[in-house]
Chain A
């Protein structure tokens, strides 16, 4: 079976951990061999947080640089970092279009990364760039779910289908949080 590498990146506090757990479980529900690992050292809100997921018969859970078939990012600056460090040429990057400015940008030492910069960087390497943004999302903590639903809609992970994602979400969440997340997932999937 062909190996499929997914690199996830975001900022501490955005829910990369949950997103990665859902994807790993969804791949398992689809009967695919899967391994993953989160890198969360200093668990502080505000630092870069990343996760590796590898589908197929792999040994290490860690992806080699620029060997990711799919990069999933939850913030614009981290999208560029993830693409630069982990994307293969001709691969796919999906990101949620929000900005948590790094300190250097806030101090006006560096410029904020805008969508044009991302698009240019993606075009140079023939990377398919998918932007996700939901205007009326009433809880920022569900941005990761918006990205996940879009991934399901465009079949970004081979052989992992909507029902696998839903089953994985049901494994991990409960009560109102489950209800709200599934509602959002269905809504975005249907658009």
Chain B
């Protein structure tokens, strides 16, 4: 077996198939990054997986999952102020959380250098929106590279790191989902881990470090000057490429993954088209763009999501009085979704119908059953929703937060009717409770999200006497993004740490009504909810059960997993509560309407047994190898 860690720290040049996120880790090592921070979020968690794969004694980098993106940014900022090249990474919407600190970074003299790696998500594959973070690059005067493949991730990070160190400025590397997760063979260079001088470099030589009043304006001036220097260095960067097909009529300016889609689509084209591929999306390489505009009659701007390049390029043409037709986005659909090859095909056909034929594959109409994601078999959230639902009236209002329990919104639970952002639920619930005497408000919050951004809402509910019930869904992990640790469990990425027990935390904040219960005890949980609803003020119920996906994986690894199953006995009188209300995916139904248990899915947790009104469910012991119960 060839481990990822061995590949990443191979001293000799090595060719390997890796995904974009792992290529990034190799680039960090080759660039001499010393401090890396993050908060987990798709599509970036595999960067941490890559770092974890490196044996501790061979890894020159410090890594931590911080409690949220803002904190992660600040830790990386502090490290850079002390002379260490640092990197912070998180997902697209994570930048909103980090924004307060992030937008200041450009003002500072970051003597170690700092790279911000963003996992943007065009297509909203695993995000609540598809926000285009190129806006933030302009807003903060921080330059941005945009790679289109794992190979470019690797090469661009190294170049960005070098410039960042030289100019003492932050630089963004904007990845998108299918760049993070794309896999291809990369030729890695030699890895030299040099003797490093760890002495703290922070001093006032590079000051001011405090942007207040007039100082802020001086600092902004410096930021803009650095941006200008950056522009001069990268004007002729190899990451901007002119693909000359000798077409003086039609040209396309493109960036990121859509560039690769474009190349594939043009294989079908009747006409060869000139391409200007941009690797640095802010600040744009104006000179080569002006030349491109001057030498073509029509130029299409092919960019995913918003019209950021389009606006800039149109103004360049205006300022330079260039006689060129610039074709940007044509309709609302051009603003939406990922520019995969199919989409690029449609867009180009819409732009220049004469170059591409309509594809008609003529597939007979077939009815496909949708398959939305759902809670895992044995998930504690399912038991919680099942219990809580019976305690609520149809008119009551439920507020979801970010995490696995967001899936409770789907059939058959329909729990959590509004979702705004990480940690919003208590405050949104508080707002919903104002001038509201008739409808109970119940907010949900995951444990990782509690530490991330949930605490201020709770403090606010206490401070301002809000009247609502908060149910903290404690499963002991950050499950949605792949089981990262969190502050309540007593360990972090690097080893043991002081646990912050949630109940104690709430007590010390001054919450008066706190109940704690295992969600598999559905009766007790239901009683607590009813009690909370009948009590005025701010009430918290901690509904606990370990993430069963994580737990059963660990048990399988240790060989202690009890391979029990649940079976449907002859007592079943077809009320279908197990399917229609409890909704465990292991329950399947025959064409005749009989219920049976799909054993590939059943983990034998038995949390379903209590939900059957006719007691038709029972354990079937099928242990193979492990201890029989």
A102 to chain B, nearest CB (A): 4
Q: Given contacts A64-B342, A89-B361, are A100 and B598 in contact (CB under 8 A)?
A: yes
A120-149 toward B: CB 8 Å interface, digit per residue (1/0)?
Answer: 010011000000000000101000000000
Interface size class of A (residues with CB under 8 A): 35 or more
Nearest-CB distance from B383 to chain A (Å)? 16
Interface centre among B261, B374, B583 (most CB of A within 10 A): B374
Q: CB < 8 Å: which of A44, A81, A110, A138 contacts B373?
A: A44
- Asked whether B181 lies within 8 Å of A59 as measured between CB atoms, the reply is no
Inter-chain CA distance A48–B372, complex, in Å, is 7
With known contacts A34-B17, A101-B588, A125-B363, A45–B377 Cβ distance under 8 A? yes
Q: Which of B42, B184, B340, B369 contacts A104 (CB 8 A)?
A: B369
Residue of A nearest to B589 (CB): A106
Contact of B370 among A100, A102, A178 (CB under 8 A): A102
Please tell me if the beta carbons of A104 and B579 are within 8 angstroms of each other in the complex: no
Contact A45-B549, Cβ < 8 Å, known A60-B261, A61-B182, A64-B342: yes
Residues facing A in B344-371 (CB within 8 A) are: 345, 361, 363-364, 366-371
- The answer, yes or no, to whether B2 is at the interface (CB within 8 Å) is yes
Most buried by A among B340, B345, B482, B583: B340
Task: Tell me which residues across on chain A come within 8 A of B181, comparing CB atoms.
Answer: 37-40
Contact present for A103 and B411 (CB under 8 Å): yes
Q: In the complex the two chains form, is B404's CB within 8 Å of A44's CB?
A: yes
Give the residue name and chain of the A residue nearest to B262 (CB): A59
**Closest chain B CB from A151 CB (angstroms):** 19
* A39-B125, A64-B342, A124-B364 known; A77 vs B369 contact (CB < 8 Å): yes
For chain B, the bracket of interface size reads 35 or more
Neighbouring B residues of A107 by C-beta, 8 Å: 411-412, 579-580
The yes or no answer to B260 lying at the interface (CB within 8 A) is yes
A176 CB to nearest chain B CB (Å)? 10
Contact B341–A121 (Cβ < 8 Å)? no
Q: Are A43 and B184 in contact (CB under 8 A)?
A: no
- Bound: A104/B583 CA distance, A: 11
B328 CB → nearest A CB, Å: 22
Q: Nearest-CB distance from B72 to chain A (Å)?
A: 21
Is B480 a contact of A42 with CB atoms below 8 Å?
yes
Q: Indicate if the CB atoms of B366 and A46 lie closer than 8 Å.
A: no
With contacts A35-B184, A64-B341, A100-B585 known, is A43 near B482, CB below 8 A? yes
Interface SS of chain B: helix, strand, loop or mixed? loop
In the bound complex, how far is the Cα of B601 from the Cα of A98, in angstroms? 11
**Alpha-carbon gap, A64 to B341, bound state (A):** 6
In the assembly, what is the distance between CA of A113 and CA of B432, in Å? 44
Contacts A84-B363, A124-B364; is A104 near B370 (CB within 8 Å)? yes
Who on chain B is nearest to A33 by CB?
B185
- Assuming the A-B contacts A77-B369, A113-B369, are A46 and B585 also in contact, with contact meaning beta carbons closer than 8 angstroms in the complex? yes
Known: A80-B366, A173-B1. A60 touches B375 (CB 8 A): no
B598 partner residues in chain A, CB cutoff 8 A:
99-101
List 4 other contacts, CB 8 Å, given A102-B370, A104-B369, A105-B369. A35-B184, A42-B480, A64-B342, A103-B583
Q: Which A residues are closer than 8 A to B by beta carbons?
A: 11-13, 21, 24-25, 28, 33-48, 58-66, 77-78, 80-81, 84, 89, 98-108, 110-113, 121, 124-125, 138, 140, 170-174, 178
Q: Which residues of B contact A (CB under 8 A)?
A: 1-2, 17, 42, 125-126, 149, 177-178, 181-185, 257, 260-261, 263-264, 340-342, 345, 361, 363-364, 366-377, 404, 407, 410-412, 480-482, 549, 579-580, 583, 585, 587-589, 591, 593, 598-601, 624
Q: Which 6 A-B pairs have the closest CB atoms?
A: A47-B373, A41-B126, A41-B125, A59-B263, A140-B600, A60-B260
Give 28 A-B contacts (CB < 8 Å), ordered by A residue: A13-B376, A24-B183, A36-B182, A36-B183, A38-B181, A41-B126, A41-B177, A42-B480, A43-B480, A43-B481, A44-B376, A44-B480, A46-B371, A60-B260, A61-B182, A61-B183, A62-B178, A77-B371, A100-B601, A101-B588, A103-B410, A103-B583, A106-B583, A106-B589, A111-B591, A124-B364, A125-B364, A172-B1
